[in-house]
Amino acid sequence: MIIYFMCLILFCVGLYAILVKRNLIKIIIGIIITEYAVNLFFILVAYRSKGRAPILIPDQIVKNMVDPLPQALVLTAIVIGLAVTALMVAIAVRVYEKYGTFDITKIKRQKG
Amino acid sequence: MIHNPSPLFVAIPLGAAFLVSLLGKRVKNFSDSLSNIATFSLLLLSLFSISLVSKHGMLVYKVGGWVPPIGICMVLDGLTSFMLVTVNSIAFLVTIYSISYMERYTAKWKFYTLFLLMLAGMNGVIVTGDMFNLFVFLEIAAISSYALVAFGTEHEELEASFKYMVMGLLASSFILLGIALLYSFTSTLNMADMSRFLVKTGAIQIVPFVTVLFLMGFGLKAALVPFHWWLPDAHPSAPAPVSAMLSGVLIKVLGIYALMRVLFNVLGISPPASTLLMILGIISMVLGGFLAIGQEDIKRMLAYSSISQIGYIFLAIGIGTPLAILGGLFHLINHAVFKSLLFLNSGAIEYATGTRNLRKMGGLGLRMPVTGYSSLTGSLSISGVPPLSGFWSKLIIIIAAIQAGHFILASVAVLISILTLAYYLKLSV
Amino acid sequence: MNNKPKKAGMTLIVKTITRLTVGLILLFGIYIVLHGHITPGGGFAGGVIIALSFIHLMLAFGKDLALKKLSEAQASFFESLGAIMFLTIAILGFVGGYFFLNFFLDKGEPFKLFSAGIIPLCNVAICFKVGAGLFAIFAALVFLKIGSGEER
């Protein structure tokens, strides 16, 4: 039970970094932490008590394995997170080229 | 294959996208012709799917032959074929427009690759019948749109794309959290199976929490107030065909269609949820309308008007009677058509005059007559002047609101409609 | 003594160890991809390891030598080739009547390498795409940074 609370605290740490910090790179790190927290929650959902890893070894009785389906889904979600991180870093580098700074209070040129 | 063409809707744009990425630089004019052929064949397939659904009812396609709930299945019913026709027809017209508009940018084949990927993602969201598959296709379409908004790499495009990306990723995290909670409770991922399980076990405590999570996630993708902050920056900065696709189709498919599927088919809508939808819809309408009056930039005004019209559709879904849902869907296809028309017109105006500021333009109707007449028709239709189509869809929504007993909401809808006419008169120069 | 010309890459110790181990890393990645249906791993993980072997070359020896082994245009070509291979496997299933049907071998007995239908082919296609894609992202970011550094 306590491990789910720690997962929620990790999510809130990431959310704090997105909302409060002013540097672009720190916002990117906040988003990465948030996505990791959600992936971790998904895997923790699949735990069965006293289970083993779901790998089949010769002459082994299939008795007590954890759920393997969320593990495959989280693999896909991790790859999606990687692609999005790469795109964000590329855009951040281009923003630095154009504006000369990473501070988001100085990159506001659009109003309203 | 003839009796169920569902996987072709995803396979054709994916194949075309990667073929363009492979050969687009070497063969001249290859990217133009291949993407136009692809979108035209998709349009024909979607019209064919309407005739199939009206003959057979609902069609289910088991991918790979695996029986659900083990395998993924793709579902074709009435709502699906309706959305497919909307998306594919506008995509076809936008690809014809962008043959000559994108000559200004150097790498045209990259634009076509990203565009076809976005189209494949949207078609996948519409056709699928499985929850995690919905999430994967949603991410494909969203990531392609983040890259497309930043396509010209000017100052404001990069800043707008960064803001859009941060908010879009937050929304995707909320949606994934909702799917994880639902899976932990029902231990299946198929939409039909999940709904049967939820009905069998009665009222549970987890359904309201998951409803709020999905409302936050999909509402952010559909630019519902208070999650609309990314839209007035992202839609004006993108190149014109991308703005037309984004504002006309993407916020509807990713936001409204996915929310309707999840709320109506899986979770079961409850009275507090529909009241919340109605309130958020009214606030969107009013806020979008008032903020659109003081804008000078033509595309920014159109973006705020998008927020306002999406508020109408949410109001209609929130009321919940069959007449209201009919009005909401009719308004959806109307808004897709005339918002893309107005954005493409603004792209043509910007191409011809080189500026987007409304104060500096005047009397353009004399020099560009086709653009002038079509934007006049579009603005009159969106404000609800009879006998153009916008009038009928708004009338159905207002009648449904009065029938359900919400008189205040109906009168606010009429007032905002008059306000819409006011700020669109600024456009018909 | 202070004006030595700047050499590309890292020190001699790193270069020697890299020369010895890069081939082994590539081979290990290929092993994980091919045995994806028996042991954990599969296309994604194996693709990442193969991309890492090329990036290891770039880190240790400097970008010119690594780009001579696998240039950016070739990486882009492999990426699209991987995606088209995956789509072809899917569409060939139409021959049997369904998308993604098993047309290659029978359905899979445990612990045998040449079984489990089309899953090994899909793993190979995904490995091409992920490996080439990661290497292309890394090369593009390296070029961006150097470009902006020269302009200021």
Q: Which of B158, B169, B173 sits opposite A94 (nearest CB)?
A: B158
Mean pLDDT computed over every residue of chain C: 76
**A109: nearest CA in chain B?**
B156
Closest CA to B77 of B95, B102, B52, B98: B52
Residues with Cβ within 8 Å of B103's Cβ and at least 6 positions away in sequence, in order, are none
3-state SS record for B234-290: HHHHCCHHHHHHHHHHHHHHHHHHHHHHHHHHHHCCCHHHHHHHHHHHHHHHHHHHH
Residue A16 counted as domain residue: yes
A70-74, A98-102, B248-252, C53-57: lowest mean pLDDT where? Answer: A98-102
DSSP letter, residue B226 = T
A6-10, A63-67, B8-12, C92-96: lowest mean pLDDT where? Answer: C92-96
Residue A83 counted as domain residue: yes
pLDDT confidence band for B65 (50 / 70 / 90): low
Residue C37 C-beta-side C-alpha neighbours within 13 Å: 18
Report yes or no: C26 and C50 within 8 Å, Cβ to Cβ.
yes
Amino acid at A69: L
Would you say residue C6 has pLDDT above 50? yes
B39-48, B213-222, B361-370, C69-78: lowest mean pLDDT where? Answer: B361-370
Subunit contact C144:A94, Cβ cutoff 8 A:
yes
Q: What global pTM score does this model have? A: 0.89
Residue A101 counted as domain residue: yes
> Quick check: A55 contacting C, CB < 8 Å?
yes
pLDDT of C150 reads: 39
Q: Which residues of B touch A27 (CB under 8 A)?
A: 166
CA distance B54 to C25: 57
Q: Which residues of A touch C40 (CB under 8 A)?
A: 55
- The DSSP-derived string for A16-40 is HHHHH--BHHHHHHHHHHHHHHHHH
Subunit contact B166:A31, Cβ cutoff 8 A:
yes
Subunit contact B159:A109, Cβ cutoff 8 A:
yes
Give the three-state DSSP class for B60.
Answer: strand
CA distance B91 to B116: 9
Burial B67-81 (b: 16+ CB within 10 A, else e): ebbeebbbbbeebbb
Mean pLDDT of B119-129: 88
Would you say residue B196 has pLDDT above 50? yes
CA distance B263 to B152: 37
Among A residues 82-101, those touching chain C with beta carbons less than 8 Å apart: 86, 89-90, 93-94, 96-97
Angle between helices B108-127 and B131-149 (to 10 degrees): 160
CA distance B55 to B49: 10
Q: Which of C44, C110, C148 sits opposite A75 (nearest CB)?
A: C44
- Rg, chain A, Cα only: 20
pLDDT in tens, B227-257: 788 888 888 778 878 888 888 888 887 888 8
CA distance B100 to B115: 15
CA distance B368 to C38: 66
pLDDT in tens, A6-64: 998 999 999 999 888 888 889 999 999 999 999 999 888 888 777 777 766 665 666 77
Would you say residue B64 has pLDDT above 70? no
Mean pLDDT of C13-32: 89
Which chains does chain A touch, 3 or more C-beta pairs < 8 A?
Answer: B, C
Subunit contact C39:A56, Cβ cutoff 8 A:
no
Subunit contact C87:B15, Cβ cutoff 8 A:
yes
Subunit contact C141:A79, Cβ cutoff 8 A:
no
pLDDT confidence band for C149 (50 / 70 / 90): very low
Tokens coding C100: 């993604």
pLDDT of B202 reads: 66
Query: Chain C: nearest CA to A49, how far in angstroms?
Result: 22
Subunit contact C98:B62, Cβ cutoff 8 A:
yes
pLDDT of A104 reads: 77
The answer, yes or no, to whether the previous bond of A70 is cis (omega within 30 of 0) is no
pLDDT in tens, B380-396: 777 777 767 778 888 88
pLDDT of A39 reads: 92
Question: In whole angstroms, how far apart are CA C24 and each of B49, C50, C52, C97?
Answer: 52, 10, 12, 42
Residue A111 counted as domain residue: no
Subunit contact A87:B165, Cβ cutoff 8 A:
yes
From chain B, which residues contact A within 8 Å (Cβ)? 132, 136, 139, 143, 146-147, 150, 153, 155-156, 158-162, 165-166, 169-170, 173, 176-177, 180, 183-184, 189, 232-233, 237, 291, 295, 300
pLDDT of C13 reads: 87
Residue pairs between chains B and C whose CB atoms are closer than 8 Å: 39
Residue A77 C-beta-side C-alpha neighbours within 13 Å: 29
Instruction: Report which of residues B3 and B139 the model is more confident about.
Output: B139
DSSP letter, residue B66 = P
Indicate the helix (H) or strand (E) that contains B419: helix B407-424
Looking at this predicted complex, what is its ipTM? 0.90
Amino acid at C133: G
CA distance B351 to B349: 5
Amino acid at C50: I
Report yes or no: B157 and B240 within 8 Å, Cβ to Cβ.
no
Subunit contact C130:A97, Cβ cutoff 8 A:
no
Mean pLDDT of A65-72: 81
With 0-12 CB in 10 A as exposed, 13-18 as middle and 19+ as buried, what is B195? Answer: middle
Q: How many domains does chain A have?
A: 1
pLDDT of A40 reads: 92
Mean pLDDT of B30-34: 78
Query: Chain B: nearest CA to C138, how far in angstroms?
Result: 17
Subunit contact B15:C76, Cβ cutoff 8 A:
no
Which CATH number characterizes residue A97's domain?
1.10.287.3510
pLDDT of B359 reads: 57
**C95: nearest CA in chain B?**
B1
pLDDT in tens, B351-365: 776 666 665 566 666
Subunit contact C144:A56, Cβ cutoff 8 A:
no
Subunit contact A90:C148, Cβ cutoff 8 A:
no
Instruction: Report which of residues B353 and B38 the model is more confident about.
Output: B38
Taking the CA atoms of residue B66, residue A71, residue B190 and residue B265 in that order, the dihedral angle to the nearest 10 degrees is -160
- The DSSP-derived string for B184-203 is HHH---BHHHHHHHHHHT--
DSSP letter, residue C100 = T
Residues with Cβ within 8 Å of B252's Cβ and at least 6 positions away in sequence, in order, are B83, B86, B222, B310, B332, B335, B336
**B7: nearest CA in chain C?**
C99
Subunit contact C97:B65, Cβ cutoff 8 A:
yes
pLDDT of B80 reads: 83
pLDDT exceeding 70 applies to what percent of chain C? 71
Subunit contact B64:C84, Cβ cutoff 8 A:
no
CA distance C82 to C95: 21
pLDDT of A10 reads: 92
Closest CA to B169 of A112, A28, A4: A28
Q: Which residue has the tokens 């899953």?
A: C119
Would you say residue C151 has pLDDT above 50? no
> Quick check: C150 contacting A, CB < 8 Å?
no
pLDDT exceeding 90 applies to what percent of chain B? 4
Query: Chain A: nearest CA to B184, how far in angstroms?
Result: 6
DSSP letter, residue B102 = G
Annotated domain spans of chain B: 269-429
pLDDT exceeding 70 applies to what percent of chain B? 90
Q: Which residues of A touch B161 (CB under 8 A)?
A: 91
pLDDT of A62 reads: 65
pLDDT of A29 reads: 92
Q: Which residues constitute the domain of residue A84? A: 2-53+65-106
Query: Chain C: nearest CA to B421, how far in angstroms?
Result: 48
pLDDT of B357 reads: 63
Residue A58 counted as domain residue: no
Mean pLDDT of A90-103: 81
Q: Which residues of B touch A34 (CB under 8 A)?
A: 169-170, 173
Subunit contact A88:B165, Cβ cutoff 8 A:
yes
Burial B318-352 (b: 16+ CB within 10 A, else e): bbbeebbbebbbbbbbbbbbbbbbbbbbbbbbbee
DSSP letter, residue B76 = E
Mean pLDDT of A66-94: 87
